[in-house]
A and B are shown apart, each in its own frame.
Chain A
Amino acid sequence: MARFRRAYGAAPWHLLLLAGCFAVTGWIALRLAGGASAGRMLLWFLGAVIAHDLVLFPVYASLDRVLRGALGRGGVPSPLNHVRVPALGAGLLFLVYLPGILGLGDGTYLAATGLEPRVLLGRWLAVSGVLFGVSALLYAARRLAHRRRPSRPAG
């Protein structure tokens, strides 16, 4: 037991559990392999990880860094989160409703719904505008409250 643990780095159940997981995946891979679209599925599976970990995350982290640089020490109370929060909201909506916002999938959309796809970019911009607007109003209110009570520590 101790020898196994030294060689492997964890208890035997750990290996059994992972073997089960890889068995399921391996069985599925064998089942799908050779199919015309197996390569595309694999591409999308790995591509999704790359798109998130090596594109989306670095992009939003870098934008946030720029934002912190610009607003991090700007004023009391800080406006930073009043930009961050609506920006993240708008970004989230864009990510989730991307096909509608960009009007993708024309043929399939028409066949499924009986309607021509509409580019909903304007709607997304409007919802995002509302998010930024509400956030700006809240910021203005907080600033006002802060000025009236100057003795309170920065929040």
Chain B
Amino acid sequence: MPASPPPPDDAPSAAPAALWAGLARHRPPGVDAVDRAWRSPVRGPWLTSVFGAVLLATLPLVIVTGLLDWIAYGPRLGQALPRDVGWLHPPVFDWPTRPAWLFRVTQGLHVTLGIMLVPVVLGKLWSVVPKLFDWPPARSAAQLLERLSLLLLVGGILFQTATGLLNIQYAYLFGFDFYTAHWYGAWIFTAALVVHVVIKLPRMVTALRGPGFARTPLERTRPEPADPDGLVARRPGPATMSRRGVLALVGGGALLLAALTVGQSVDALRRTALLLPRGRRIGDGPTGFPVNRSAAAAGVTPEQTGPGWRLTLRAGDRTVALDRARLLALAQHTAVLPVACVEGWSTTQTWTGVRLRDLADLVGPVDPTTARVRSLERAGLFREAVLHGGQVTDPDALLALRVNGVDLSLDHGYPARIIVPALPGVHCTKWVAEIAFDG
């Protein structure tokens, strides 16, 4: 055995040798034609490694912010979706309320970066696509298993991208639960990614340490020497784009997507999100900012929210009912806070209302450990949300009655809604009917 063993791709046909050799000999019709059809002279270890390095630096951010999103939903309070995930989850902790922009940034990054990586992923797949049609498909059991893991890797990234893109644009064409699919898809992808990185990292480092092509202009663009992975075309045609041109094209695509996406998270740029649902305001004026789930969709009617509406506060066996006038007579607090959605969009508004800890004081508990907030909404996943102690007692945690100096609109949760710093938007319950404190 040599001191430095050849990597799996080079390995001589492993046992059962006859099987692999036979497979290699029996070339199905068409594979030779396909093999000759790869003409691009820029495909090769260097370009693939640059794409790989970019993805290696950025995908962990997308993965981690995705896991943080699951934690932000509150697994300890039984609210993370999917709920029952077995042993496969990150360490859980109570989601903090500070900094107030925390969820806006983590989830905005998850979605925006995920979108920006689409051209990088497509570029990476383009750079290695000849391998898909390689014959024989494997020269050893090791290679066969590795290729199966690549199916999980490629399927994983495409599945996550497709479900994510459809979810943020409210087109549930797939017909399965998004949370479940995106969660488990992420784990399948992440496991396959770890395998791929461990196996291919030495290749990437070697290719990036070798001669670079970042400055090579078109007229001097030549194929790389033949590589053990077979990425370099055997019969390359003339170059029509330099490698730096390909990288600029992919980078330009990422920047174009960023420019058309970031507006869903930045109020001043809202309208630049030209092709996304969250580039739209629902109207002019102080309550014209985007809505998550309309009153009509939630089945909340003006009769329920009229003069007969009461907020019920409970703690143990104590109950207090307040109408809106009495709430407005309590000490009012104003806070400028973002409300951020799992779909990556967010908006900052000026909310005015009663501090949740003041409401807790009215029914007793000095140090509430949780608050269970119920909405007038009768159906729907988020008609009820539980806040942990830190979220109840934060000085900016409000039962908001007004926004930007006017009463809440029905779609924004009139007569009263929850606003807590860094709390995912879906847990900022609208049309609040009852708050039950525990502690």
Question: Which residues of A come within 8 Å of B, CB atoms?
Answer: 1-2, 5-11, 14-15, 17-18, 20-22, 24-25, 27-28, 31-32, 37, 40-41, 44-46, 48-49, 51-53, 57, 68, 72, 78, 80-81, 84-85, 88-89, 92-93, 95-101, 104-105, 108-115, 117, 120, 123-124, 127, 153-155
Contacts and interface: CB of A to CB of B under 8 A. Distances in A.
Contacts of A5: 1, 5, 11, 14
Given A96-B165, A111-B297, A153-B219, A49 B151 contact: yes
A101 to B, nearest CB: 6
Contact of A49 (B158, B192, B198): B158
Nearest to A48: B158
Contacts of A124: 275
A18 B145 contact: yes
A113 B276 contact: no
A49 B154 contact: yes
Interface of B: 1, 5, 7-8, 11, 14-15, 86, 88, 115, 118-119, 122, 125-126, 129, 132, 139-143, 145-146, 148-149, 151-152, 154-156, 158-159, 162-163, 165-166, 169-177, 180-181, 184-185, 187-188, 191-192, 194-195, 198-199, 217-219, 240-241, 245, 249, 252-253, 256-257, 260, 274-278, 280, 282, 290-294, 296-297, 411
A68 B194 contact: no
A44 B143 CA distance: 25
Given A32-B184, A49-B151, A100-B169, A88 B249 contact: yes
A52 B124 CA distance: 12
Nearest to A53: B132
Contacts of B155: 45-46, 48-49
Contacts of A127: 260, 274-275
A110 B297 contact: yes
14 contacts: A6-B15, A9-B8, A9-B141, A10-B140, A22-B149, A28-B88, A32-B184, A37-B177, A53-B129, A96-B165, A105-B170, A108-B171, A113-B280, A117-B170
A72 B125 CA distance: 24
A56 to B, nearest CB: 8
Contact of B149 (A18, A45, A80): A18
B413 to A, nearest CB: 12
Most chain A C-beta atoms within 10 Å of own C-beta, residue among B1, B11, B240, B290: B240
Contacts of B199: 14, 17
Contacts of B162: 44, 48
A99 B169 contact: yes
Contacts of A72: 240
Nearest to A18: B145
B152 A108 contact: no
Contacts of B187: 24, 28
A107 to B, nearest CB: 9
B403 to A, nearest CB: 15
A28 B156 CA distance: 13
B188 A68 contact: no
A105 B167 CA distance: 10
A9 B159 contact: no
B146 A18 contact: yes
B241 A93 contact: no
Contacts of B296: 111, 114
Contacts of A80: 240
Nearest to B249: A85
B297 A17 contact: no
B294 A21 contact: no
Contacts of B194: 17, 21
B296 to A, nearest CB: 7
Contact of B245 (A9, A51, A68, A81): A81
B409 to A, nearest CB: 10
Contacts of B253: 88-89, 92
B129 A57 contact: yes
Contacts of A104: 169, 171, 173
Contacts of B88: 24, 27-28
